[in-house]
Structure 1
């Protein structure tokens, strides 16, 4: 019989992925890392048996957390990524030639090391880009002490359990806002609202107290099962109102060729179903 990994992130719902070949299985100081091969999704990364990213569908998650705020802003120079040790987020940010500097703060050096070896298709050379500064540190500690000046901050966190829990607090969000430029944008991973509604509600409550424009947007990612995933959006600027023709112009000028993101998808992502809208304060 085939071996299956059963993800038990939710108390009353689970998904399983078949393990065609286990490529890596090891404990780090923070969590248990596995990389395995799956016929549909390619290489799959799990932390404590919770799916983090896959070779097959990671492009949706990474494109929507990077191109959307960068193109909405229109003049991004400095980007901060909290988490993202697999390198996929840095890969997409660095596609923008206009971005001069990216700081990536990852708590677990083991994630970076084995991602470079076992998941090179995710980073695609991003770790060797001279614009990338890799910092091995706790993201909450870093955000507390940084001088800031970031145009976009991307919180590519795990779920709010274990090492990632502190990245969902009001204190962390307040310190992240302090690290933004005046019209900077904070985007966050906020789970699947149908199954993790409280997580989104709590983040949006904090964002509403901090930002002039606080909402979320959606994308459907197959391995994050249970419906569309929500991404928190917070800014004091007017980036969300950027017209479609302006987004299209910026997109064309950037010269990128995403597999999921388009300017039209960008605008549509902010159209929320009723059950998601009701989770916002």
Structure 2
């Protein structure tokens, strides 16, 4: 006669010869599906916390390959550390598991708001990011040994095949949960709840998982005192996260306002970036992920310098890549020769802003019947049959301080732009400051030349930005020259003499001969990360 675990009564754990076999505890065979479900939930939460850290790294500090690699590698290393650190507590696996889940729910749930507030108040969150990566990684790493121990409890001796099957079940539930978490963050939590609330909701799910395991699966393994302590800790942790969920918007508004000198009149997080509009005494400013895009006081200097040199040959069809605020489109539409404008912008939220709050500034340009707005990634769109035969191309992209933006300043990208141009067409690129970021500026010039363009670099003073640079290009090796069309409308800032002077660079900012930036070697991103030159 044998027991359900395959042991004879004389050798079954917890029995003596002649006694009745021990009854499997609450984590026996019948509770395995619930415990495996808890494994999946814990895995989902753990992966979401890692994605929260990566998302915050990108939005607060620009992310980048180096920082992303450090977070991923640090998180994986912390998983191993957590697995080792929990070994002395495996004898009290039930109590330890509940404690770990409570701690993880609090640490993970508060991670986003802690990082955001520290960045807002102190201008940096790198140290907090590293600590959060280590703490969350260690707690997540402790889960698997504890869960493995709990799954084995009450099953008696397990042979090699049984251990393999148990590990297979554990891994399957773990990976399935990771898939769920990987899909939930970008498609559900981040777009619907945002970073702070999304992390807090994930923490709540962790606490619910701990409560379910404690109440239904481990109640026979936890003493009355342990159950009371776990209940009190769970309620306290849930209360903290509940307050955060209720007050998240107030906390975000207060922290965000510290990042800007002027009052915030509009703020939202799109699928791609944080979009903030401030206004004081009639000065409207747009920020994307904290970077100033324009000030209404002097944006005409930037916009006229960007647009009108590229219209020197009186184009009929103009392509604008980026520039979703509509200001470049406004200037293009002022030129009498223009018959068609295609505006390609990645973020529909910026287009909505241009058509709404910014419509007065841009002259409601995106509502003009000559303008065709395409919401698409510029790199992808340039590969389509529609991206052909333009007389002028305006590339008005944000500064390349992340790998995602760096690809829009690559030889490959400018090669696609070249294919979109008519034989006698011109292209202009906003290229950053030749004074503050000279290496990045001349890197853009070199990259455009590497794609087969003759270049004419130039720069103007935009008070809100400082000394700001652009590059005009045409097919071939000859520079296109800096002139204005005789059909150009009356301009507030730019004239022929000013444009000629814009092509002269001072002795302390002479042209540099540099290698181009490519998809394989995005050198311009590193140029931006080196910081600003005084």
Please classify the TM superposition score into its range, dividing by the shorter chain length: 0.7 to 0.9
CA contact (8 A) 2:390 2:425 kept: yes
**Structure 1 counterpart of 2:362, from 87, 102, 123:** 123
CA contact (8 A) 1:220 1:229 kept: yes
2:419 corresponds to:
178
SS at 1:92 equivalent: helix
2:274 corresponds to:
32
- How far apart are the structure 2 equivalents of 1:139 and 1:110? 16
**Structure 2 counterpart of 1:22, from 247, 261, 264:** 264
**Structure 2 counterpart of 1:156, from 396, 410, 428:** 396
SS at 2:261 equivalent: strand
C-alpha distance 212-173 of structure 1, shift in aligned 2 (>3 A): closer
Q: Which ranges of structure 2 fall in alignment gaps of 5 or more residues?
A: 1-119, 124-258, 515-534
2:307 corresponds to:
66
Report deviation, 1:77: 1.2
CA contact (8 A) 1:55 1:121 kept: no
- How far apart are the structure 1 equivalents of 2:331 and 2:316? 14
Report deviation, 1:236: 2.7
1:240 corresponds to:
480
1:113 corresponds to:
352
C-alpha distance 92-239 of structure 1, shift in aligned 2 (>3 A): farther
TM-score scaled by length of structure 1:
0.83
1:137 corresponds to:
376
CA contact (8 A) 2:429 2:470 kept: yes
Higher percent of residues as strand = 1
Q: What does 1:74-93 align with in structure 2 at a 5 Å threshold?
A: 74-93=313-332
Report deviation, 1:239: 7.5
C-alpha distance 209-239 of structure 1, shift in aligned 2 (>3 A): closer
C-alpha distance 212-164 of structure 1, shift in aligned 2 (>3 A): closer
Instruction: Note if 1:276 corresponds to 2:509.
Output: yes
1:193-235 alpha-carbon deviations (Å, 9 max, x no partner): 222222222222222233352231111111113xx11102211
2:337 corresponds to:
98
- How far apart are the structure 2 equivalents of 1:179 and 1:269? 27
Instruction: Note if 1:260 corresponds to 2:500.
Output: no
- How far apart are the structure 1 equivalents of 2:412 and 2:453? 18
1:170-193 alpha-carbon deviations (Å, 9 max, x no partner): 110111111111121111111112
CA contact (8 A) 2:396 2:430 kept: yes
Report deviation, 1:57: 1.0
C-alpha distance 241-204 of structure 1, shift in aligned 2 (>3 A): closer
CA contact (8 A) 1:57 1:222 kept: yes
2:15 corresponds to:
none
1:12 corresponds to:
none
CA contact (8 A) 2:344 2:374 kept: yes
How many residues end up aligned between the 2 structures? 256
Higher percent of residues as helix = 2
Report deviation, 1:34: 0.5
SS at 1:91 equivalent: helix
- How far apart are the structure 2 equivalents of 1:26 and 1:107? 16
CA contact (8 A) 1:17 1:38 kept: no
SS at 2:491 equivalent: coil
Structure label with greater radius of gyration:
2
SS at 1:230 equivalent: strand
- How far apart are the structure 2 equivalents of 1:280 and 1:232? 15
Q: Which ranges of structure 1 fall in alignment gaps of 5 or more residues?
A: 9-15
1:11 corresponds to:
none
TM-score scaled by length of structure 2:
0.45
CA contact (8 A) 2:355 2:367 kept: no
- How far apart are the structure 1 equivalents of 2:351 and 2:449? 34
CA contact (8 A) 2:442 2:512 kept: yes
- How far apart are the structure 1 equivalents of 2:423 and 2:330? 26
1:13 corresponds to:
none
- How far apart are the structure 1 equivalents of 2:349 and 2:453? 38
2:454 corresponds to:
213
1:114-134 alpha-carbon deviations (Å, 9 max, x no partner): 232222232112111111110
**Structure 2 counterpart of 1:48, from 247, 268, 289:** 289
CA contact (8 A) 2:275 2:288 kept: yes
- How far apart are the structure 2 equivalents of 1:26 and 1:64? 30
After the TM superposition, which of the residue ranges 144-153 and 59-68 deviates more from structure 2? 144-153
SS at 2:480 equivalent: helix
